[in-house]
Structure 1
Amino acid sequence: MTDAAASARRTALVLRHDSTIGLGNLGPTLEAHGYEVVTVDAPVSDVSAIDPLAADLVVVLGGEEGAYETERFPYLADELSLLRSRIDAEAPVFGVCLGAQMLAAALGARVYRGERTEVGWLEVTPTSAGERSPVRHFAGVPTVQWHGDTFDLPRGVERLASSEQYENQAFRRGDWLLAVQFHPEVTAEIHEDWLRAWGDELHEHGSSPSQLRAERVHLGPRAEAASAALLGEYLEGLESRRAAA
């Protein structure tokens, strides 16, 4: 158990949009750092009733929704309100894929349909700022991408990584807000769930379930290690911030 876990346990509120797009290998890292994980299924919960500042950390996961589809999915509007409250208070928040897009929208940036779907085991390249951030652990480490939406970089943040297809792959504000477009949470089980659910669409993007399965065998363990290092470093930064405060 880490020093953080030895202290009073903290709460991580996880906003989930689909049961197949879960916390995955991020969960053990949160627990190892002393967090009690509370998962809220946003589509069937009253997100507006959640105290936006009650949790020590909010984690916003992926989903098929678009951050701009608030009329179609009203709970997204409630999530945006929650995220804006946390941003105003500089309260820790971590976003993955749709979660990153939601954070971009909450910060006032445009989120929109990209020119193509980015899918597969692909690399992201850290920027100079990214090389000094938790995202550095994914330098040279292919990770799962599966998204068609993208976003403009919000004002007042640092771009941390880019890919060949999309410039904005990760960003942060201070040491308390971190957002990644890629999927560090993917485990073998999640990977297989996604191939069963959406594998039929891979052919139109020049890939196939068999190709991704083969890539996962030799790329998955390294990506999971990078995931634990990324989230662990971010959480340690939050502890240092609390101690300084």
Structure 2
Amino acid sequence: MRTCVALRHVAFEDLGSFEPYLRAAGYEIVYHEAGYDDLAALDPLAPDLLVVLGGPIGAYDDELYPFLRDELRLVEARLAAGRPLIGLCLGAQLMARSLGARVRPNPAGREIGWSQLSLTAAGIESPLGELAGVDVLHWHGDIFDLPAGSQALASTSITPNQAFLHGSAALGLQFHVEATARGMERWFIGHAAEIGVAGLSVPELRAATARNAALLERQGTRLLARFLDGIGLLA
């Protein structure tokens, strides 16, 4: 049985649509809770797949959240070894920082809601091609520069780097491809303060989720399948 280790920062930002797909593909899934579990004790190279999930803190906030230093060491070791790695939102930002790129607050403000990506030529040819014409979930306030040696795959009007591929086995996604309609109800509770500060409406976000989540769930798992197949991690 293959293994997937997921590093989780808040309980409601989990693997989402990825989880049932990975279980059906024969993966054992183990969550480790950042800030609670001892991440320094983990072997960064042991799992077949490492997924670093999102969370409402910055990749540069290690003075406030010292566990980020252990998390960065895990990501750095994984990248150096070329072992399969997916970063989602904060996870992608930690990947970018580990690769020497700058991560910072977006001067254009938060990007929260559903919209399509602009795919690069490399993005269309990559697993992200499954998201052409698909509205994805954005929920972030930071941006990162493209890491040296990485391929830019996607952007939006206020976020120049929405996705990158480093080597063949490290995929960083600023947006939330794993989001599900059911799971979003937990986001509306957990991110209530942020929704209010941003002047957004829960009913409007819920309606947009109802319009877009089913397609994203389908195409998001197709993206995951293509990524895993491309690096030999599907049966």
Which TM-score band (shorter chain)? over 0.9
The answer to whether residue 14 in structure 2 is matched with residue 10 in structure 1 is no
Q: CA deviation at 1:174?
A: 2.3
Q: CA deviation at 1:203?
A: 5.1
Separation (CA, whole Å) in 2 of partners of 1:103 and 1:203: 29
Tell me the amino acid that sits aligned with residue 51 of structure 1: D
Structure 2 spans left out of the alignment, 5+ residues: none
**Paired residues for 1:1-245 under 5 Å:** 9-115=1-107, 116-202=109-195, 204-205=197-198, 207-239=200-232
Separation (CA, whole Å) in 2 of partners of 1:99 and 1:106: 11
1:131 is paired with a residue whose SS is helix
1:44 is paired with a residue whose SS is coil
Tell me the amino acid that sits aligned with residue 163 of structure 2: A
Q: CA deviation at 1:52?
A: 0.8
- 1:107 touches 1:154 (CA, 8 Å); kept in 2? yes
Separation (CA, whole Å) in 2 of partners of 1:117 and 1:190: 21
Separation (CA, whole Å) in 2 of partners of 1:87 and 1:201: 32
Separation (CA, whole Å) in 2 of partners of 1:155 and 1:112: 17
CA change 1:73–1:201 in 2 (3 A) is closer
Separation (CA, whole Å) in 1 of partners of 2:91 and 2:125: 22
Separation (CA, whole Å) in 1 of partners of 2:196 and 2:46: 44
- 2:115 touches 2:137 (CA, 8 Å); kept in 1? yes
1:129 is paired with a residue whose SS is helix
% identical equivalent positions: 44
Question: Size of the alignment, in residue pairs?
Answer: 234
Query: What's the TM-score once normalised by structure 2's chain length?
Result: 0.95
Separation (CA, whole Å) in 2 of partners of 1:223 and 1:160: 18
Instruction: Show the counterpart of 1:6.
Output: none
Separation (CA, whole Å) in 1 of partners of 2:23 and 2:99: 29
What stretches of structure 1 move > 4 A for 4+ residues in a row?
none
Structure 1 spans left out of the alignment, 5+ residues: 1-8
1:43 is paired with a residue whose SS is coil
- 2:181 touches 2:214 (CA, 8 Å); kept in 1? no
Tell me the amino acid that sits aligned with residue 107 of structure 1: L
Higher helix proportion = 1
What do you get for the CA RMSD once the two structures are aligned?
A: 1.6
Deviations 1:6-33 (A, max 9, x none): xxx1111100000011111110121232
Q: CA deviation at 1:210?
A: 0.8
- 2:17 touches 2:179 (CA, 8 Å); kept in 1? yes
Query: What's the TM-score once normalised by structure 1's chain length?
Result: 0.91
